[in-house]
Amino acid sequence: LTMTESVNTVIIGGGVLGCASAISTQKRLRKANGNNDDSVCLVEKTVISSGISARHSGIVRSANAVARAAKLAKSATDYWKNL
């Protein structure tokens, strides 16, 4: 672990959404700026994914009566595969 004096982006919470946000943000910064100089810091008070993310069933279902929810589930699954 190394400490720096400053970072570009801080993400608070190391659950599934915080981790996905950190990965996505770092990828977008690298793509936009073409370098590795932009930093993302993920802050978690305990252990990464030890909160509700660790106790969630992790099921994403596309069989949903609401078409919008089914499309969202499909998009989320596709996004997750590309992380």
pLDDT tens for each residue of 55-82: 666 666 666 677 888 888 888 888 878 7
pTM (two decimals):
0.64
Domain-located, residue 62: yes
Domain-located, residue 66: yes
Residue with tokens 């589930």: 73
Domain-located, residue 2: no
Q: Give the 3-state secondary structure percentages of the chain, helix then strand then coil, rounded to 5.
A: 45, 10, 45
- H/E segment holding residue 12: strand 9-12
Count structural domains, the chain. 1
Domain-located, residue 75: yes
pLDDT of residue 7: 85
Q: How confident is the model at residue 54 (pLDDT cuts 50, 70, 90)?
A: low
Domain-located, residue 4: no
Domain-located, residue 1: no
Please tell me which residue, 12 or 62, carries the higher pLDDT value.
12
Name the residue range of residue 19's domain.
9-81
